[in-house]
Amino acid sequence: MDYIDKHFLESLSYRFPTIGKASTEIINLSAILQLPKETEHFLTDIHGEYEQFAHILKNGSGAIRSKIEEVFGFELSNEDKKELATLIYYPDEKIELVEATGTNMHDWYRTMLLRLIRMTRRASMKYTRSKVRKSIDPEFAYIIEELITQNNTLAKENYYEGILESIIRTGRAKECIHAFAITIQRLVVNHLHIVGDIYDRGPGPDKVIETLIHHHSVDIQWGNHDVVWIGAACGNLACMATVMRLSARYGNLDILEDSYGINLIPLMKFAMDIYKDDPCTCFKIKYDPETYDMSNLPLDMKMHKAVAILQFKLEGQLIKRHPEFHMDDRLLLDKIDYENKKITLYGETYDMEDVYLPTVDPKDPYKLTPEEEALIKHIQGGFRNCERLQRHVRFLLSKGSLYLVYNNTLLFHGSIPLNEDGSFRSVELEGKSYKGRELMDVMDNYVRKGYYLPPGDEKCYATDLIYFLWTNEASPLFGKERMTTFERYFIKDKRAHEEPKTPYYRLYNDETIVNQILEEFNLPTDVAHIVNGHVPVKQKKGESPIKCGGKLLIIDGGFSRAYQSTTGIAGYTLISNSYGFKLVYHEPFTSTEEAIRTGSDIHSEILVVEEVTRRQTVNDTDTGRVLRQQIRELEALLAAYRTGKIRERE
């Protein structure tokens, strides 16, 4: 035993000071390795659709309903199963609804508690008692643990009945049911993966973030919409303008004003002044007719146009600062022929629908007017000083990354930059070239630098690179050759709207290419998978989310309402458990109120992507690898105790 080994083992001996304690821990860890693998839940491209996200989170993409079927089978009617499922999803609201019907609450509470006990007992079977205990509200930990570990002997029957009656008699049934429901949710799905794009389009990204902050076990792979919000929080002007434009485009400026407290009155006054006689017809709002206040439409269109022009100027300045980004083809304001209302792009001349751009100087089109300078500085202060936004972004940085390797699965939002021949594409950053995993790592680091570095040139470069991630063809988050935002506003000819995909999306059915990516991230090609989102799978046109024979899964199927008419469904989610992978696709969610009132659930269909021949255990996971290493260390400590090389401490 060398000095370093002995030093480490002596440190370990403080935690396990005797042969007995070290051997007990070895026994405990060895037993854990034999438990079934945890259940993982994958969601992507949430895009602010909070209600649907929250419901799918509560029902575990149908996992809880499946567990109810396992436990009760034909014992309960479909209505009773539906009622139990709703109680687990929305315990407080369901109880209030039942109370209002005049039901005998004593009997109802007793019935539901007995059913929840059975559900919790089944859900806890794959975990240690310690793990289960940590999943229970501490206030009810003793009671619930006693009830779910009960034996059926007559000697203790009165004991368990006494617990139930006491819960009801003391008026604690509602709180106890709530504790049971949350425990079941946590045990049925142990870990959550969010594969990017929490922000933009939908009305509640801030609520999604708040929910994730309080989730017991989650990781996040950033999407392009997430990083542009990170860039905005850093104070990058082009990122801020992009965030504002997207909020305006989808009728969600309330997110900035009400959710994050960013004062948009200066933007409103600016837009009313500059575009007071302009109908801004090219800047329509993609609003939700059920929630949008139509009286805001004329003003919102003006604000939409104002901030779009601001974005085109600011991104033009950024592109000019960085010729190494190779984005000069996106400098478009200087290509406009105002007299003839035309623009020439990529060798084609197109008619422009609108050339009323009073803030654009044709001789210096990317220069901000004094009014625009004052406006963007004011808004920059709002983004930088918003404590809630900064807290949300810090959470994204602490729980998030550009990619993740987890239990033989590679997760990333968009793509791995490739050349046409399938080789990894090199990207030059500050004079050095990166590709493959190294590119992903260095990009991840730049995002963190952009947020955490003090003001200065290094921070400015890092935040500009965040904008690169948003829209550059070499970005692993974008995956297209160009973003035709300008063209979609100003040019009617749809040929100008095309956004050709990068080689990754043409090659991901090639097993050689997929294996090359897996090997780059040190994953076994025979059992590993890739999971990503970003590009909606158009199921109604016959597209499948299952690529390369099941090795790669794209699970963006239209979570966002804005995409559901295109995809034909309301999103894919993925479940990975000890039996394999199950892909779930969902019908649109109506509302939380209807789910509580009628017991309606999201109609979901399950596709079995892969079934394992041997049920997977903790031993097959990343946690298992860590536990095996801990066992080896403890066995070395045990040997050191028994040979006298290290003395027991008790």
pLDDT at residue 151 is higher than 80: no
Q: Residue 602 has what pLDDT? A: 58
CA distance 586 to 606: 9
pLDDT tens, position by position, 415-431: 999 999 999 999 999 99
Backbone φ and ψ of 364, nearest 5° = -150, 70
Beta strands in 181-333 (DSSP E): 191-194, 218-221
pLDDT tens, position by position, 152-162: 666 677 888 88
Give mean pLDDT, residues 179-187: 95
pLDDT at residue 461 is higher than 90: yes
Give mean pLDDT, residues 225-239: 98
Kindly tell me the sign of the dihedral angle through the C-alpha atoms of 316, 318, 322, 325. Answer: negative
Residue with tokens 């919790």: 120
CA of 535: how far to CAs of 44, 222, 463, in Å? Answer: 10, 14, 25
In percent, the amount of the chain with pLDDT more than 70 equals 92
Q: Residue 1 has what pLDDT? A: 47
pLDDT tens, position by position, 190-229: 999 999 999 998 899 999 999 999 999 999 999 999 999 9
Range with the largest mean pLDDT of 229-233, 478-482, 551-555: 229-233
Give mean pLDDT, residues 512-523: 97
Q: Residue 96 has what pLDDT? A: 93
Pairing of strands 409-412, 403-406: antiparallel
pLDDT at residue 465 is higher than 60: yes
> Residue ranges of the alpha helices (H) in 546-647?
561-567, 592-598, 622-643
84: left (phi over 0), alpha (psi -120 to 50) or beta: alpha
The model's confidence at residue 288, banded by pLDDT at 50, 70 and 90, is confident
Q: Residue 555 has what pLDDT? A: 86
Q: Residue 540 has what pLDDT? A: 59
Q: Which of 309-313, 342-346, 578-582 has the lowest mean pLDDT?
A: 578-582
pLDDT at residue 134 is higher than 80: yes
pLDDT tens, position by position, 86-116: 999 999 999 999 999 989 999 999 999 999 9
Higher pLDDT, 188 or 290: 188
Angle separating helix axes 19-32 and 622-643, nearest 10 degrees: 160
DSSP H/E element including 43: strand 40-43
Give mean pLDDT, residues 578-584: 85
The model's confidence at residue 601, banded by pLDDT at 50, 70 and 90, is low
Give mean pLDDT, residues 153-178: 87
Token pair, residue 544, equals: 């499948």
CA distance 265 to 259: 15
Q: What is the pTM of this model?
A: 0.92
Q: Which residues contact 222 (CB under 8 A, 6 or more apart)?
A: 196, 230, 396, 400, 401, 402, 413, 447, 477
CB 269 within 8 A of CB 203: no
Q: What is the DSSP string of 524-572?
A: -TTT-EEEE-SS---GGGT--SEEGGGTEEE--S--SHHHHHHHSSS-E
Residue with tokens 């469904």: 569
pLDDT tens, position by position, 60-88: 888 898 899 999 999 999 999 999 999 99
The model's confidence at residue 282, banded by pLDDT at 50, 70 and 90, is very high
DSSP state of 217: S
Give mean pLDDT, residues 506-526: 96
